[in-house]
Chains A and B, each alone.
Chain A
């Protein structure tokens, strides 16, 4: 090894050590733990103890169903919304663009607890502005927190609010990388604005959209904050419990580390699998 490289590695050592201890080791360790029975002392190797339980656990299937439901509905809606927002942000007609860009991005930097508290207030049964608005247009008020369907909707609305702008900014960067003269050529080809969007903009944005979708899928697979804080630990009655929440409940409330590790690996495996399917579906044609 050249001395220059050796010096570089010496500088990197503290980081690499921390990385190994707090990142690599937990990943390996939790994999091992997922094959151990951790409710007895000492822990012992029992491959079916956690994984066997997982396969037959209704709580797991409930959490899986909730997570996938949110994934299937919320991610496409949010990405579509983000594309619309990005196109609006990119419009030459828009004034004060910087202000909007900031406003769209702001939810990401708002503290999770504060944001959850505000959402709980806004959607509260008797005092929330959302129900007031619904009533003002003649729709009877909704009990967002006591019924499963509204509670799930609330989670999706909250997650969308928080991340749509973030995705819009990424998509905006993609939009701005499409050269203007391609649209001019299309205008000369008598292709309407709408067709330009579907036949030029969307195909050229595909890599960026895939990127956003993958990020969102991974994020949603780990969804925790919203069901924990807004619908109070997956309420009503586990109706909004996600895999992330199940993991937390098993690992840190029941201190059942083996089972929590199995759930964690299931989440990661699912995220990878879904992402691969997605990349395969959206691959460049040969």
Chain B
């Protein structure tokens, strides 16, 4: 059992700095997901924790011990690679036992561990096959099995499900969740799929271009994002962003006016960081927070462009002036292209960001 602590971790490839001082605290037994767009440094961070990449600056501690100069095999971690990285010439059984055999682990213990991993992952039937003779999902199980056999304190997963089809992905996601409960160990999981992050994580670390943007529980990130990037990244479909301007401030509140919607105005409570009158701001509204006309604080007329009917809900892609909005509607399956309707925004359900993307609250 081990906590993982990253303190001011920096990674440079030559002159390129790709991770700029990451501070992340992961509690013992926690399931933490690193999420972010492609190239943001998720894999690099994970590989530094694993010891596969040198650390250019800062410290990485596992179980309270600084691991910067400790060999990968001595860090008490196991890693599951995106490409599985199975030994192609070995059977499943040999793949699972290879590390233990090479290190002179007692035979009986090796057998016990392999058997247990096979049971947990339900791959007993496949033990004599080679990776080539397995499906993608089965390979992934074997890769996870190889990690389990090491009985690590920390599991590292680098986009383990990205090579699987949608259905299998959901299934494996549930299995990984179950595995976490069963083993109770710390897991760090890298993905660029925010749905995976939302469903698996105890806490999510959102990364962007080598910076930690926000760390928090999935719903906290959803309800209370620290900035526009996190607001836009977490949630599917994405949050809508509407340009606006501060037009008036009183003692306790500010009035902001939407730029493209006929002078529609909203009143937001004032706070210390509130920009001055005249400043441009961005209003963030989630698709499910567009209410029926008149229910909110200001109404805006829109014209439906495309509607996606998923059954339980529909997403209407609508044009409102130059802005395209995604509106969630539970009831209206009929809404089709060209329809005009009105949506309403509630001030307390709208987030405000300044021009640089920082949250105003």
| A contacts, CB < 8 Å to B | 179, 181-182, 184-191, 195, 199-200, 203-204, 206
CB distance from B75 to the nearest CB of A (A): 9
- Of all chain B residues, the one with the shortest Cβ separation from A192 is B102
Contact with A along B82-95 (1 / 0, CB 8 A): 01011111000000
Does residue B185 face the partner (Cβ distance < 8 Å to A)? no
Do B85 and A199 touch (CB < 8 A)?
no
Known: A179-B83, A181-B83, A199-B98. Contact between A188 and B89, CB under 8 A?
no
Does residue B78 face the partner (Cβ distance < 8 Å to A)? yes
Complex CA gap A185/B50 in Å reads: 10
Partner of A189 from the list B73, B81, B88 (CB cut-off 8 Å) is B73
Complex CA gap A185/B131 in Å reads: 15
Does residue B42 face the partner (Cβ distance < 8 Å to A)? no
Does residue B253 face the partner (Cβ distance < 8 Å to A)? no
Interface residues of B in 63-116 (CB under 8 A from A): 71-74, 77-79, 81, 83, 85-89, 98-99, 102-103
CB distance from B130 to the nearest CB of A (A): 10
For the residues of A in contact with B, the DSSP-based class is helix
CB distance from B185 to the nearest CB of A (A): 16
Known: A189-B98, A190-B99, A195-B102. Contact between A204 and B85, CB under 8 A?
no
Does residue B146 face the partner (Cβ distance < 8 Å to A)? yes
Do A184 and B87 touch (CB < 8 A)?
no
Do A190 and B103 touch (CB < 8 A)?
yes
Complex CA gap A179/B88 in Å reads: 10
Do B52 and A187 touch (CB < 8 A)?
yes
Residue pairs across A and B with Cβ atoms less than 8 A apart, 14 shown, are: A179-B83, A181-B83, A185-B79, A185-B81, A187-B52, A187-B72, A188-B50, A188-B52, A188-B79, A188-B99, A190-B71, A190-B74, A203-B89, A206-B89
Which residues from A are CB-within-8-Å of B87? 182, 185-186, 200
Do A189 and B89 touch (CB < 8 A)?
no
Known: A187-B72, A187-B73. Contact between A179 and B102, CB under 8 A?
no
Do B102 and A191 touch (CB < 8 A)?
yes
Complex CA gap A184/B77 in Å reads: 13
Which residues from A are CB-within-8-Å of B85? 179, 181-182, 184-185
Does residue B11 face the partner (Cβ distance < 8 Å to A)? no
Which residues from B are CB-within-8-Å of A195? 102
- Of all chain B residues, the one with the shortest Cβ separation from A202 is B89
Does residue B289 face the partner (Cβ distance < 8 Å to A)? no
Interface residues on B, range: 20 to 34
Does residue B141 face the partner (Cβ distance < 8 Å to A)? no
Does residue B286 face the partner (Cβ distance < 8 Å to A)? no
Do A184 and B102 touch (CB < 8 A)?
no
Which residues from B are CB-within-8-Å of A206? 89
Complex CA gap A199/B89 in Å reads: 10
Which residues from B are CB-within-8-Å of A200? 87, 89
Partner of B98 from the list A179, A184, A191 (CB cut-off 8 Å) is A191
- Of all chain A residues, the one with the shortest Cβ separation from B73 is A190
- Of all chain B residues, the one with the shortest Cβ separation from A204 is B89
Complex CA gap A181/B146 in Å reads: 14
Which residues from B are CB-within-8-Å of A187? 52, 72-73
Do B81 and A181 touch (CB < 8 A)?
yes
Complex CA gap A184/B50 in Å reads: 10
Known: A203-B89, A204-B88. Contact between A189 and B83, CB under 8 A?
no
- Of all chain A residues, the one with the shortest Cβ separation from B94 is A199
Complex CA gap A204/B89 in Å reads: 7
- Of all chain B residues, the one with the shortest Cβ separation from A284 is B89
Which residues from B are CB-within-8-Å of A188? 50, 52, 72-73, 77-79, 99, 150
CB distance from A82 to the nearest CB of B (A): 21
Partner of B52 from the list A184, A189, A204 (CB cut-off 8 Å) is A184
- Of all chain B residues, the one with the shortest Cβ separation from A178 is B88
CB distance from A148 to the nearest CB of B (A): 43
Complex CA gap A186/B50 in Å reads: 13
Complex CA gap A188/B152 in Å reads: 11
CB distance from B190 to the nearest CB of A (A): 14
Do A185 and B102 touch (CB < 8 A)?
no
Which residues from B are CB-within-8-Å of A182? 85-88
Which residues from B are CB-within-8-Å of A199? 98, 102
Complex CA gap A191/B50 in Å reads: 15
Which residues from A are CB-within-8-Å of B83? 179, 181
- Of all chain A residues, the one with the shortest Cβ separation from B149 is A189
Complex CA gap A15/B221 in Å reads: 72
Besides the known contacts A186-B99, A188-B73, A190-B73, 13 further A-B residue pairs in the complex with CB atoms under 8 A apart: A181-B83, A182-B86, A184-B81, A185-B79, A185-B85, A185-B87, A186-B87, A187-B72, A187-B73, A189-B102, A190-B99, A200-B89, A204-B89
Which residues from A are CB-within-8-Å of B103? 189-191
Which residues from A are CB-within-8-Å of B88? 182, 204
Which residues from A are CB-within-8-Å of B102? 189-191, 195, 199
Complex CA gap A110/B83 in Å reads: 43
CB distance from A286 to the nearest CB of B (A): 10
